[in-house]
Amino acid sequence: MLNYDKQADWSNGFGEHQSPISIRTDSVKCLKAPLDYHVLNDYRLHQEIDDGTTVRLTGEGTADIFGRQFNFVQVHFHAPSEHVINGKHSPLEIHLVHQNAIGQLVVVALLVSLGEKQNPQLQQIIDHFNQAKTTTIDLNIRDWAPWYPVGAHYLGSLTTPPLTEGVEWLVISNPEFTVTKAQVDWFQTHFGEDNRATQPVNGRTVELYK
């Protein structure tokens, strides 16, 4: 029984719904539909920031995500990927961070593969990078969102401190662009491996849209 006279002693016991996670596609609930994610207004990047751990770019844009409108607020990168699908990391994971009017967060994660073709916007971000500086930029990344996104939908957390929970994740496994090894190497040269270890699922529902 709770003691309402000793509320200060209540442990908040967080940490059961953390991100990233490892996803086995044969053991999660499967839905025959794309992830309900639609860019409404172009994602335009305005500022590029060296935060010491990765490159973070802030900007603007809007999207409809599972029936609600969110603002796109920033994008950043992890190499190798933080989320793991069927035991495999992708070389790069791009986090498109969205927020709504009351502050709810949705992160759209793009698990990007290596290919012969470099991604031109990512190359602009690399070329424009200025160590320990924040600089202005003007870049449209709308076409990073796939027209038929498939992947996982689950409830987790930020993957860097404060590790806040209640963050909704769309982990997209079919980006329509590739990056080159040179592009991924650039991130690892500058920041090392900056992926958080996968966290226990602890009975959460993970839905697979495909």
53 forms part of the interface with a copy of itself (CB under 8 A):
yes
The nearest distance, CB 128 to a copy of itself, in angstroms, is 21
CB under 8 A: which stretch of 19-27, 115-123, 139-147, 163-171 binds a copy of itself? 163-171
193 forms part of the interface with a copy of itself (CB under 8 A):
yes
205 forms part of the interface with a copy of itself (CB under 8 A):
yes
The nearest distance, CB 121 to a copy of itself, in angstroms, is 25
22 forms part of the interface with a copy of itself (CB under 8 A):
no
DSSP string spanning the chain?
Answer: ---GGGGGG------SS-S--EE-GGGSEEESS--SEEEEEEEEEEEEEE-SSSEEEEEEEEEEETTEEEEEEEEEEESS-SSEETTB--SEEEEEEEE-TT--EEEEEEEEEE-SSPPHHHHHHHHH--TT-EEEEEEE-GGGS-SS--EEEEEEE-SSTT--EEEEEEEES--S-EE-HHHHHHHHHHH---PPPP---TT---EEE-
210 forms part of the interface with a copy of itself (CB under 8 A):
no
- Footprint of a copy of itself on this chain (CB under 8 A)? 1-2, 4, 7, 10-17, 52-53, 66-68, 101-104, 153-155, 160-168, 192-197, 204-207
